[in-house]
Amino acid sequence: MAPTTQKALVLPAEKAPFQLVADWPVLKPGPSDVLIKLVSAALNPVDAYIKALGGGPLVSKYPLVLGLDGAGIVEEVGSEVTNVAKGDRVLVSGEFGDNRATFKEYLTYPASEIAKVPANISFDQAATIPLAFATAVTPIWASEDGAKSVRFTPPWEAGGTTKYAGKAALVLGGSTSVGQFVIQCARMQGFAPIIATSSPRNAAFLKSLGATDVLDRSLPPSDIKSALSSLAGGKPIEYVYDAWGRDGESARVGYSVLARGGAFATV
């Protein structure tokens, strides 16, 4: 039986210091919900931004619990839940607020919106997936009306793993949490070569994800452009994903090497 209160990392007021409290309520799951005992939670940039700069339209009231990603064990299931059972390992994409945020010990969540975690993935690894993966794939696979997306055919649809085969791709900021997923998605869709920019210390890791080549992110733009021509073997760069997207410089480099009619995505 789950407790009625829990520890939580609380932001008591806008820009205030965090407080660790021990009396945050644990809510019972409704008929279609599950109660999850969290084991791991991910820290995303938006958590730090809200703490430092204030929540603006993202926050309606304080005190506030942050945390958008988590993984843990199903503790209780609602009477109508059939897709998971007590003891299952799951991940969840949380929400800021009283109940669905992940900087605490327990949360209730709709069973239809969680995913099981396979045995070969740790809780720490699973907790890094939801927001970073969604951020990575929305600009490339989203297809609903009004979506700001390059609208690649996703790999689960016909042609999604073959129509891009052999096309050169560039991932700027390959070692960011988003960039790591972008590389894996590009490999899944057959892009080749897949060239990433990163710190040299991350090169081996990025190659294990699917990057064929890794360029030092500290190189001058002119050197990056020169190296790309050689690494792509004369192929045009038909797909650029700017996973850094902060200072504008990476976007300028990406646009400067993108082939006419190519696809450009950014965070």
180-236 confidence digits (pLDDT tens):
999 999 999 999 999 999 999 999 999 999 999 999 999 999 999 999 989 999 899
Residues ≥6 apart with Cβ < 8 Å to 34: 74, 75, 76, 77, 78, 81, 84, 90, 108, 109, 111, 114
Coil, helix or strand at residue 53: helix
For the chain, which residues make up each domain, given as ranges? 5-128, 131-266
The distance of Cα 206 from the centroid of its chain, to the nearest Å, equals: 16
d(CA 247, CA 233): 29
Q: How large is the average pLDDT for residues 96-122? A: 93
Position 233, amino acid: G
Single-letter residue type at 67: G
At residue 2 the predicted structure's pLDDT band, cuts being 50, 70 and 90, is confident
Give CATH superfamily name and number for 5-128: Medium-chain alcohol dehydrogenases, catalytic domain (3.90.180.10)
Q: Which fold has domain 131-266?
A: Rossmann fold (3.40.50)
State yes or no: pLDDT of 245 exceeds 90.
Answer: no
Q: Of all residues in the chain, what percent carry a pLDDT higher than 70? A: 100
pLDDT category at 249 given cuts 50, 70, 90 is confident
Q: How far apart (Å, rounded) are the C-alpha atoms in residues 172 and 136?
A: 12
User: Alpha-carbon distance 76 to 88, whole Å?
Assistant: 10
- Residue 246 scores a pLDDT above 80: no
Tell me the average pLDDT of the chain.
Answer: 94
Q: Are 62 and 109 in contact (CB under 8 A)?
A: no
**If you average pLDDT over residues 83-88, what whole number do you get?**
98
Q: Check residue 210 and give left, alpha or beta (phi > 0: left; psi -120 to 50: alpha).
A: left
Contact between 117 and 72 under an 8 Å Cβ cutoff? The reply is no
Round to whole Å and give the CA distance between 235 and 238.
8
Report the distance separating Cα 65 and Cα 9, nearest Å. 6
What are the E-state strand segments in the chain? 5-11, 19-25, 33-42, 64-65, 69-77, 89-93, 106-110, 114-116, 168-172, 194-198, 213-216, 237-242, 258-266
Overall average pLDDT of the 110-138 stretch: 97
137-159 b/e with 16+ CB inside 10 Å = b? bebbbbeeeeeebbebbbeeeee
* H or E stretch at 205: helix 203-209
